[in-house]
Amino acid sequence: MEKSTEQLRNVALIAHAGSGKTSLAEAMLYNGKVTTRMGKVDDGSSNLDFEPEEIKRRTTLTTAFHHFDWKKTSVNLIDTPGDDNFISDTKLSLQAADGAIVVIDATAGVKVGTEKVWGFADQQQLPRMVFVNRMDRERADFYQTLDMISQTFETNMTPLFLPMGAEDKFAGVVDLIKMKAYTYKKDGSGAFETGDIPSDMTDIATEWREKMVENIVEANDDLMEKYLEGDPLSDQEIEETLVQGIKSGMVTPVAAGSALLNMGITQLMNLIVENFPSPLERPPKTGAAPGGGETIEREPSPDAPFSALVFKTVADPFAGKLTIMRIFSGTLQPDATVYNANKESKEKLGNLLQMEGKKQQPMGTAVSGDIVAVAKLKETGTGDTLCAVNDPILYAPVEVIPPVISYAVEAKVKGSEDKVFTSLARLLEEDPTLKLERDPYTGDVVLSGTGQLHLEATCEKLNRKFGVEVILNPVKVPYRETIKKPAKGVVYRHKKQSGGRGQFAEVHFDVFPQEPDTGFEFEEALTGMNVPRNFVPAVEKGLNEAMESGPLAGYPVVDLKVRFYDGKSHEVDSSEMAFKMAAIMCLRKAMEAANPILLEPIMQLEIIVPEEVMGDVMGDLNGRRGRVMGMDSQGKYQIIKAQAPMSEVLTYALDLNSMSGGRGTFTMEQSHYEELPAQLTEKVIAAAKQEEE
């Protein structure tokens, strides 16, 4: 059907991993008659978890999209990952949503992932509803879960539906607005009968209805006054104010059910179309004029100039690259030419596609609020703004979560290194949380991601999509070498006589340590004519070459100064080559006399953990030769700012995860270099010698 912007709802399903988001989406697609049977995550028949890596692990690793029509409204579902390794995709995909359903497992309550995705929804200022899932499971407890949610999120949690029974006695839901009961069949058909509230629930239903009304009237001052004066409120007044409260974010409604048994889902679908805002009811999107110009506001109207944000890219080996965008204003036709404000270039679009799980369907005109995919764009990447050529605007995308773990990637088949690099670069278009670098000193290709599982799944995907097999190796620590004291008057003579023309050069150096991070300094201080000046560049070249590999363990040399003040030459046997060799050998000799030391990279960490594990984390840091630089608190979490040697935190992501039960997060970047303690220096030198052999 041709739909207008006000008939659209863009809804993201967000939750901690394993709470049942994908099963909930499957139930909605089935009820909306998009599918003829409910797909199941556990048997690999899901319409939304279709990547082989997802089927194998039975969990969502990448956001999937589908849509259904319900009550003359078109609902776009955005099914996001909940696993910490892939949660950055959730953060990016929420840019396309106008509302979020937070799915919480009634047997497990609020988990760390729930808190993270709730925070992302806060950043996007999204209205949200809570769906308490798995009411049919053993140990399901709706009221305990509700308490936990209210304590964690300090927001007005307002149940609109109460479950009838729990565990194997879960039979349906009670509607607190209409004061009716819906009793479900347990066959997954979604069929239910409407009746009166069971007599054993009338008291609790009346009590919770009272709480519900109290919460709802807070969204409207006039109604609140009427309520406080004891005047009766009509169902219509309550429902209209509820809609107002949800759209403004003042009221967070709670519903209950079982996604797997398709119980309570119809009521949730009604809530979505009746209470979530259409794109037209969201605030105007703010951007800037390209080139750092003034702030521009774009109304979400189909008549405004066209603008869209690319929030996801999928690398498809067959269709090429799929670019997925959310239109924030205006109208888009197939085959249109649009402007990429980030790349300052025009892009010609082909067919406009609507995502349906692993398939895409061509669509006609797309309007403000639509989520659209386009194949084979040349320049455009995730985070780019596409807009009208004659009326450009630039939207700021959300920041991706920085990578925390790195491995050196080695090709399983020798000689396919270049293919590894280019194929990984393709996957980087799809996943902006991956980082790919070539270490200039070790020559390794270093792949960084948000966790161990993230990098493993990336390697599986690399093999499946591009036929490239790789091995992940621990990253080599980039040690450096330097000196601690000066060495003056160091002389080296390079002399070779063996038939034909000989080689002769002699250089005299003073070598001094420099302040950290000042690099290498070369001072030419020759007087007299012992060394012809045309050999000076060869000496400097020799020094630069010698700095690439120090005398201790072959690591690059940093922070020293060489003063070249004298030497000797021979009018026939001296050459640039001879002076270069003399310089290399003289620096080596000077360093050995100048107390050479190894430097190790020190990382700056910011660690966020719940208060109760703070002691463990601090103790662990001490064991890693770490130093705590400062503390801060953020709600129930503590922020520890610390420094630790890189060699001690290569697998910190895994260790922090086990110490904090998955609730700790951290960011890490290189800070500076420090002297490596003597007892460890011997180990590093021994390891370097062993590798050389």
For residue 544, what is the domain's CATH number? 3.30.230.10
Top-confidence range, 121-125, 312-316, 539-543, 664-668: 539-543
In a domain, 232, yes or no: no
Q: Are residues 93 and 133 in the same domain?
A: yes
C-alpha span between 366 and 334 (Å, rounded): 8
For residues 546 and 497, which has the higher predicted lDDT (pLDDT)?
546
- Do 598 and 672 meet the contact criterion of CB atoms below 8 Å apart? no
| Weakest-pLDDT range from 14-18, 244-248, 486-490, 496-500 | 496-500
| pLDDT score at 2 | 53
The verdict on 277 and 296 lying in the same domain is no
Query: Rounded distance, CA 33 to CA 69, Å?
Result: 8
What's the full length of the chain, in residues? 693
Predicted pLDDT of residue 42 = 67
The 10s digit of each residue's pLDDT in 338-366 is 999 999 999 999 999 998 887 888 998 99
Same domain, residue pair 622 and 688: yes
Q: What is the C-alpha separation between 412 and 472, in angstroms, rounded? A: 10
Backbone angles phi, psi at 123, to 5 degrees: -60, -35
- Examine the domain organization and report whether 272 and 290 are in the same domain: no
Q: Residue 361 sits in a domain of what CATH number?
A: 2.40.30.10
Share of the chain above pLDDT 70, in %: 96
Provide the residue range defining the domain that includes 22: 7-198+251-281
> Which band of pLDDT confidence, cut at 50, 70 and 90, is reported for residue 648?
very high
Tell me which residue of 276, 270, 308, 477 sits closest to 384, measured CA to CA. 308
Q: Is 87 within 8 Å of 81 (Cβ atoms)?
A: yes
> Does a structural domain hold residue 228?
no
Q: Is residue 216 part of a domain?
A: no
What residues contact 225, with CB distance under 8 A and at least 6 apart? none
What would the mean pLDDT of 372-390 be, rounded to a whole number?
92
3 has a pLDDT exceeding 80: no
CA-CA distance, 689 to 693, in Å (whole number)? Answer: 6
User: Residue 265 — very low, low, confident or very high, per pLDDT cuts 50/70/90?
Assistant: very high
Clarify whether residues 16 and 153 are in a common domain: yes
Query: Using 50, 70 and 90 to split pLDDT, how confident is the model at 317?
Result: low
Rg (C-alpha) for the chain, rounded Å, is 32
Given 594, 619, 638, the domain boundary residue is 594
Q: Measured between alpha carbons, how far is 656 from 665 in angstroms, rounded to an integer?
A: 8
Structural domain includes residue 649? yes
DSSP summary character for residue 200:
G
Q: How does residue 300 score in pLDDT terms, banded at 50, 70 and 90?
A: very high
User: Do 559 and 588 reside in the same domain of the chain?
Assistant: yes
Strand ranges of the sheet holding 157-159, from the earlier edge strand across to the other edge: 64-70, 73-79, 8-14, 99-105, 128-133, 252-256, 157-159
* pLDDT recorded at residue 421: 83
Average pLDDT, the chain: 89
Query: What domain count does the chain have?
Result: 5
pLDDT at residue 225 tops 60: yes
Is 99 inside a domain boundary? yes
How is residue 557 annotated by DSSP?
Answer: B
Pairing between β-strand 295-298 and β-strand 352-356 as defined by DSSP bridges:
unpaired
Please check whether residues 291 and 379 belong to one and the same domain: yes
CA distance 146 to 252: 12
How does pLDDT run across 68-86, given as a tens digit for each residue? 999 999 999 998 987 777 8
Cβ 606 vs Cβ 641: under 8 Å: yes
Specify the 3-state DSSP secondary structure of 391.
coil
Of 422, 456, 474, the one marking the end of a domain is 474
Smallest CA-to-CA distance from 242 within 206, 210, 280, 213 is with 213
Note whether 277 and 148 are same-domain residues: yes
User: Which of 12-26, 90-104, 360-374, 541-555 shows the lowest mean pLDDT across its residues?
Assistant: 12-26
CATH of the domain at 439: 3.30.70.870
pTM exceeds 0.85 for this model:
no
End-to-end Cα spacing for the chain: 71
Domain-located, residue 224: no
pLDDT, tens digit (0-9, with 9 covering 90-100), for 389-412: 999 999 999 988 888 888 988 888
CB 330 within 8 A of CB 287: no
Instruction: Report whether pLDDT(337) > 50.
Output: yes
* Domain co-membership, 581 together with 628: no
Position 1 pLDDT exceeds 60: no
Is 400 within the bounds of a domain? no
Confidence of residue 52 (pLDDT cuts 50, 70, 90): low
**Binning pLDDT at 50, 70 and 90, where does residue 658 land?**
confident
**Is the pLDDT reported for residue 518 higher than 60?**
yes
**Residue 542 domain-assigned?**
yes
CATH of the domain at 17: 3.40.50.300
Query: Is 155 found in the same domain as 143?
Result: yes
Tell me: do 543 and 445 sit in the same domain. no
412 and 503 housed in the same domain:
no
CATH code (residue 668):
3.30.70.240
| pLDDT tops 70 at residue 46 | no
